[in-house]
Structure 1
Amino acid sequence: MRHKKIGRKLSRTSSHRKSMLRNMSTSLLEYEIIKTTLNKAKELRRFVEPIINSSKKKNLSNYRYVSQVLKSKKIVAKLFNDISKIMEGRKGGYTRIIKCGFRKGDNSKMAYIELVGRNKKRTLKNP
């Protein structure tokens, strides 16, 4: 039985899943919108929202935590300087999932995941 087993396994080992979520969160914070499968988007939301929440309070321990998770100094700087200012008034719900149909090859459900309050003028880098 799977009682109290939270999260999706996504048919991956734990190390692969952790690495994939780190890479996807880095891409999401860099481009502010990415296209992925619906299940990955839902799991990414659970992974990236605590990171954004901890970046709102700027202290050394939060900076170390975020840089340990994301592994990219450029993205950590963008998160603490730009994205945290946009999300300052929000208490949660930093991401939005928009369903966008099915993938042509295997008919899996696809979705865009984006940061709420992102710059609308940018074009999609990862359609």
Structure 2
Amino acid sequence: MRHGKKHNHLGRKAEHRQALLMNLSIALITHKRITTTLAKAKALRVHLEPLVTKAKDDSTHNRRVVFSYLQNKEAIKELFDVIGPKVGDRPGGYLRIIKIGFRRSDASDMAIIEFVDFNELYNPGAEAKADGKRRRRGRGGKGKTEAAPAATSTTTEVVETTEEVAEEAEDKE
């Protein structure tokens, strides 16, 4: 029975599972996007996101801790030098899982797992949006009060422009 066991065993012993997650992590760090089964992608997200959080603070201790999980110098360099600074302001959620259907041979669920900040198709305005403001959804009324004045100012501009267009049309007649 699996009482109280919170992680997916993936049909492997512990050492095999750790080796699998290590190899998937190295592949994802080097390629920024990989295709695998949905169960492996979900397990990989749980395994890799704490390591990316450690990569945000580049210190010798954090490098050694992450190296104990990955055992690959090139992947550590890529993680701390490229990925860490790029996700430095993100409070979590560094990986995205996209379901892509079923594998033809055994009909297992397949998925693409990728780093969120390295895909320009899903966030094309990421450079324009990065103005230093934090955008998090919460229960506070801050977002509602900020959105209301912006909406009124745009509506007044639209009303003024339509009045100007109407005046120009009257002048032409």
**Same fold flag (TM > 0.5):** yes
For residue 75 of structure 2, what is the aligned residue in structure 1? 75
Counterpart position of 1:60: 60
User: Please, which runs of 5 or more residues in structure 1 have no aligned partner?
Assistant: 122-127
Question: TM-score, length-normalised on structure 1?
Answer: 0.91
CA drift at 1:3? 3.3
Aligned-residue Cα RMSD (Å) equals 1.2
Letter in 2 for 1:59: S
Which residue number in structure 2 is paired with residue 11 of structure 1? 11
Q: Which runs of 4+ in 1 moved over 2 A?
A: 1-4
Alignment deviations for residues 47-106 of structure 1 (CA, whole Å, 9 cap, x no partner): 000000001111111110111211111110111111001101101000000000000100
1:39-54 equivalent positions in 2, closer than 5 A:
39-54=39-54
Q: Return the TM-score normalized by structure 2.
A: 0.67
Q: Give 1 or 2: higher helix fraction.
A: 2
Larger strand share, 1 or 2: 1
Corresponding residue for 2:115?
115
Larger Rg, first or second structure (1 or 2): 2
Distance 1:81 1:10 in 2: 31
Aligned length: 121
- Between 1 and 2, higher relative CO (CA 8 Å, sep ≥ 6) is seen in 1
In 2: Cα distance, 1:72 partner to 1:107 partner: 33
Could you tell me which runs of 5 or more consecutive residues in structure 2 were left unpaired when the two chains were aligned: 122-173
- The percentage of aligned residue pairs carrying the same residue is 42
